[in-house]
Amino acid sequence: MRKWISFPKQVGEASKQAHADFPEQAIYEREAGRSGFFGPAAHFHHQHAPTGWQTWEGPLRPRAFNFNELAEPAPESPWSAATLLHNASCQMRIWHCQQAMPFLVRNADGDDLLFVHEGRADLFCDYGHITLEKGDYFVIPRSTMWRIEPLEPVQLLMIEATNGAYQLPEKGLVGNHAIFDPACLDVPDIDAAFKAQYSEEAWQVQVKRHGQVSVISYPYNPLDAIGWHGDLAPVRLNWRDIRPLMSHRYHLPPSAHTTFVAERFVVCTFVPRPIESDPGALKVPFYHNNDDYDEVLFYHEGDFFSRDNIERGMVTFHPAGFTHGPHPKAFKAGREHKKTFTDEVAVMLDTRDALQVGEAATAVENRDYVNSWQEAK
């Protein structure tokens, strides 16, 4: 049995509670915590912003990538899309699909999570047919056969749970229907569109296992189910179905916005919500140490209120090992309570193990991002 060395203590001048009513002479709060936001934590009150560095040397640094600038041509297969960030538990790709797939794919390495950043498409799989729209998540269980037919060009964020599965988070005190009701989850249907693609012509399936692709040929379309039953299926959730937890007196940690959990990582969704209105409450994300998790944010839509000069389709990557938080303009605007509502939509990937950066991501990196916390002179 193990137990954290954990007991509440206060030294010097400190606020009574985290994220609220800071001492007047130290407006910058920094949280140092373990196990993401679930373990023991200490809250420091600083006279200067914890991100007020002047220079930065060495490989560890905050990074930003503009995935709108990926130079690769749109591959036919999702398995040909470049791996952008990865570790042993997950892989992140961006896949542009502009025409109907002439074959099926199957991932034998783990579950896939698709997020539709742009476009619209019909998806056909073992379980039937479903139409995916911009803003949809779609969870595909491991070894499900599938293909898509774009109704307009689609851009998909793909996060693979390598050798793992996606599950829903425990919602604890707020109950099973909080954040989103499981009744919102849609599944494919054996409908007229699915039946219309039955075929006695030859089809191929590209199966990915251990990162290598094998091709299986059939003299017919293997998507020929006439029905199914059970409690394992792909599911769709649109970010608009998410009703975020809110507190007008307390800035909730990112973990409150968890959408899916997998082995060694979580996926969170930030959606529009009212900003805290209590005069003493923090109104922007708090400065915090990345001590146990790497943090990745994919920016989908809106005005990203804690970041400056970040646009939709971009990604920030804050590896474990340093303190980060809002940019100076965002922190100042939060103190002045200039906005009462956020309109951002972003997908966050938090991984317990260090992520590696792929060559394609490095090619579109903004290497000056590390300096973006410096206040203008």
Helix (H, G, I), strand (E, B) or coil at 195: helix
Which residues are CB-contacts of 314 (< 8 A; sequence separation ≥ 6)?
Answer: 64, 65, 66, 67, 68, 299
Binding site annotation covers 288? yes
DSSP letter for each residue of 277-312:
-STTB--SPPEEE-SS-EEEEEEEES--TT-SS--T
Binding site annotation covers 122? no
Give the sign of the dihedral formed by CA 104, CA 91, CA 117, CA 369.
Answer: negative
305 CA to centre of own chain:
17
Whether 251 is catalytic is yes
Radius of gyration of the chain (CA): 22
Burial of residue 153 (number of CB atoms within 10 Å: 0-12, 13-18, 19+): middle
Q: What share of the chain is helix, strand, coil (3-state, %, to 5)?
A: 10, 40, 50
Marked catalytic residue, from 43, 96, 251, 300: 251
Binding site annotation covers 324? yes
- Binding residues, as ranges, are 288, 294, 324
Catalytic residue annotation: 251
- Binding residues for Fe cation, as ranges, are 288, 294, 324
- Binding residues for homogentisate, as ranges, are 324
